[in-house]
Amino acid sequence: MPSITIFGATGHLARPVIDAFLAAGWAVRALVRDEAAARAKLPAVVQLVPGDLRDAAAVARALAGAECVYCNLSIRPGEKEGTDGWRWWIFEVKA
Protein backbone atom coordinates (compact mmCIF):
# COMPACT_ATOMS: atom_id res chain seq x y z
CA MET A 1 0.00 0.00 0.00
CA PRO A 2 1.48 3.39 -0.91
CA SER A 3 1.90 5.89 1.90
CA ILE A 4 1.95 9.64 2.33
CA THR A 5 3.09 11.81 5.22
CA ILE A 6 1.12 14.97 5.94
CA PHE A 7 2.60 18.00 7.67
CA GLY A 8 -0.13 20.36 8.87
CA ALA A 9 -2.74 17.59 8.87
CA THR A 10 -5.15 19.34 11.22
CA GLY A 11 -5.36 22.44 9.03
CA HIS A 12 -8.43 23.12 6.89
CA LEU A 13 -6.68 22.56 3.58
CA ALA A 14 -5.24 19.18 4.53
CA ARG A 15 -8.49 17.35 5.28
CA PRO A 16 -9.67 17.05 1.65
CA VAL A 17 -6.20 15.82 0.72
CA ILE A 18 -6.28 13.23 3.50
CA ASP A 19 -9.75 12.06 2.48
CA ALA A 20 -8.70 11.75 -1.17
CA PHE A 21 -5.61 9.70 -0.38
CA LEU A 22 -7.56 7.42 1.96
CA ALA A 23 -10.24 6.91 -0.71
CA ALA A 24 -7.50 5.99 -3.18
CA GLY A 25 -6.20 3.31 -0.82
CA TRP A 26 -3.15 5.07 0.54
CA ALA A 27 -1.86 4.81 4.09
CA VAL A 28 -1.79 8.28 5.65
CA ARG A 29 0.60 9.35 8.39
CA ALA A 30 0.57 12.76 10.10
CA LEU A 31 3.15 14.53 12.23
CA VAL A 32 1.15 16.17 15.03
CA ARG A 33 1.99 18.26 18.07
CA ASP A 34 -1.20 17.39 19.98
CA GLU A 35 -2.27 13.78 19.52
CA ALA A 36 -5.59 14.16 21.31
CA ALA A 37 -6.63 17.17 19.23
CA ALA A 38 -5.49 15.49 16.01
CA ARG A 39 -7.32 12.27 16.84
CA ALA A 40 -10.53 14.25 17.37
CA LYS A 41 -10.17 15.89 13.91
CA LEU A 42 -8.74 13.12 11.75
CA PRO A 43 -10.07 9.74 10.59
CA ALA A 44 -9.13 6.87 12.89
CA VAL A 45 -7.05 5.17 10.17
CA VAL A 46 -4.59 8.07 9.99
CA GLN A 47 -1.38 7.11 11.80
CA LEU A 48 -0.35 9.88 14.16
CA VAL A 49 3.33 10.54 14.80
CA PRO A 50 3.82 12.81 17.82
CA GLY A 51 6.37 15.55 17.37
CA ASP A 52 7.24 18.94 16.02
CA LEU A 53 8.80 20.06 12.75
CA ARG A 54 11.76 21.42 14.68
CA ASP A 55 12.53 17.91 15.97
CA ALA A 56 14.59 16.14 13.31
CA ALA A 57 14.00 12.70 14.86
CA ALA A 58 10.22 13.19 14.83
CA VAL A 59 10.33 14.34 11.20
CA ALA A 60 12.43 11.29 10.31
CA ARG A 61 9.90 9.00 12.02
CA ALA A 62 7.04 10.65 10.16
CA LEU A 63 8.81 10.34 6.81
CA ALA A 64 10.01 6.74 7.24
CA GLY A 65 8.68 4.68 4.34
CA ALA A 66 6.57 7.47 2.87
CA GLU A 67 6.45 7.75 -0.89
CA CYS A 68 5.35 11.35 -0.89
CA VAL A 69 4.69 14.31 1.39
CA TYR A 70 1.92 16.89 1.53
CA CYS A 71 3.05 20.01 3.33
CA ASN A 72 0.22 22.24 4.56
CA LEU A 73 2.25 24.85 6.40
CA SER A 74 1.95 28.60 6.52
CA ILE A 75 3.59 31.53 8.13
CA ARG A 76 1.50 33.02 10.91
CA PRO A 77 0.48 36.68 10.67
CA GLY A 78 3.31 38.84 11.93
CA GLU A 79 5.87 36.04 11.60
CA LYS A 80 8.97 36.73 9.55
CA GLU A 81 10.00 34.29 6.84
CA GLY A 82 13.03 32.29 7.84
CA THR A 83 12.36 32.36 11.58
CA ASP A 84 9.72 29.84 12.56
CA GLY A 85 7.75 29.48 9.34
CA TRP A 86 7.74 26.97 6.51
CA ARG A 87 10.71 28.46 4.65
CA TRP A 88 12.90 27.89 7.71
CA TRP A 89 11.72 24.30 7.91
CA ILE A 90 12.35 23.52 4.25
CA PHE A 91 15.93 24.76 4.49
CA GLU A 92 16.52 22.67 7.61
CA VAL A 93 15.10 19.49 6.04
CA LYS A 94 17.26 19.96 2.93
CA ALA A 95 20.35 20.05 5.13
Cα–Cα distance, 36 to 93 (Å, whole number):
26
pTM given for the model: 0.78
Check: CB of residue 16 under 8 Å from CB of residue 41.
Answer: no
Cα–Cα distance, 3 to 67 (Å, whole number):
6
Q: What is the pLDDT of residue 15?
A: 92
Q: What is the pLDDT of residue 55?
A: 85
Check: CB of residue 91 under 8 Å from CB of residue 29.
Answer: no
Residue 87 φ/ψ region, left for φ over 0, alpha for ψ in the -120 to 50 degree band, beta for the rest: alpha
Question: Which residue stretches of the chain have pLDDT < 50?
Answer: 85-86, 88-95
Q: What is the pLDDT of residue 92?
A: 46
